[in-house]
Chain A
Amino acid sequence: MTTIEAPRTPARSAGRNGNLEKWAWIYMRVSGVVLVVLIFGHLWVNLMVGEGVHAIDFGFVGGKWADPFWKVWDVLMLWLALIHGGNGMRTVVNDYTKPGRAQKILKGAIFAAVVILIVLGTLVVFTFDPCPAGSPADLLPSFCPAA
């Protein structure tokens, strides 16, 4: 049975995880506000401006990432969104599973997905070559020597 403590009961000590849950709670709100700006901007530029989704191809990405502004924008979005989503999925797992092996596996899978995709995405943005040698010229951004 759940007992509800009296209103004036002093807060319990945070336990072995320190204030981790509090910081997770704060992170969801802070990253949430920033993500509203980043994702709405992302959707506006990629879907609403010009021909929208029809304009997206390798040359479009190359043109965007020629500007460090969009590299920082996209990497920030990558980190904030994956950690925000991973923590949200952790909340869902906590709500619907009991502590045990299944819960550990689910949380491990979420953690692995977040870490792998953050590393992959960050590497992709910062090692991106807009003018790969030997590619058909008509697929490359217009600033490439081959294009």
Chain B
Amino acid sequence: MPDSTAGTLQTPDAPAKQRPGGTLYRGNEGMWSWVLHRITGVAIFFFLLVHILDTSLVRVSPEAYNAVIGTYQTPIMGLGEVALVGAIVFHAFNGLRIILVDFWSWATRHQKLLFWIVVGLWVVTMLGFTPRHLMNVFGH
């Protein structure tokens, strides 16, 4: 419903402000945590498939394994590993948030606050991980 320019056209009991859809989650922390959980989950799944296959090369020969795992130590893959760990850490912390929201009524009422706690813990974890990992990648 577009906002009327002439107040006389509005019905007296029309709500002053209507949120789209009026649903619990749309556009808010609940929706974005769900979107991020889904995207990171699918990404991690496809990495897992690749990671099992590359690790399986230890059963082929030391040379085959070292050749492929060596590509994990290049700068581009090193940056990719930061993205991967970022996805895993978010999925882990937000997964724990989901469990709390499911089983603990206080957490159900404060799911928005918990989302920002997840974001905060993610930032702290990545601030610890990223410099150390990039030193290992670029320090050689």
User: Which residues of A are interface residues toward B (Cβ below 8 A)?
Assistant: 29, 32-33, 35-36, 39-40, 43, 47-48, 51-54, 56-59, 61-62, 78, 81-82, 85-86, 88-89, 92, 113, 117, 120-121, 123-124, 127-128, 132, 135-136, 139-140
Contacts and interface: CB of A to CB of B under 8 A. Distances in A.
Interface in B51-65: 52-53, 55-56, 58-59, 61-63, 65
Nearest to B93: A36
Interface of B: 38, 41-42, 44-45, 48-49, 52-53, 55-56, 58-59, 61-63, 65-66, 69-70, 72-73, 78, 81, 85, 88, 92, 95-96, 98-99, 102, 129, 132-133, 136-137, 140
A121 B56 contact: yes
B99 A29 contact: yes
Contacts of B41: 85, 88, 92
Contacts of A132: 61-62
Contact of A39 (B45, B72, B92): B92
A85 B81 CA distance: 19
A4 B66 CA distance: 57
B136 A53 contact: yes
Contacts of A54: 73, 136-137, 140
Contact of B95 (A36, A48, A81, A127): A36
Contacts of B136: 47, 51-54
A85 B92 contact: no
Given A39-B92, A43-B85, A56-B69, A48 B58 contact: no
Given A120-B56, A121-B56, A53 B73 contact: yes
Given A88-B41, A92-B42, A136 B62 contact: yes
Q: Is the interface of A mostly helix, strand, loop or mixed?
A: helix
Contact of B52 (A32, A35, A43, A117): A117
A53 B137 contact: yes
Contacts of B42: 88-89, 92
B52 A78 contact: yes
Contact of A88 (B45, B81, B102, B129): B45
Contacts of B73: 53-54, 56
Given A53-B136, A121-B55, 4 more contacts: A32-B96, A57-B62, A57-B70, A92-B41
B56 A85 contact: no
A88 B78 CA distance: 27
Contacts of A85: 41, 44-45, 48
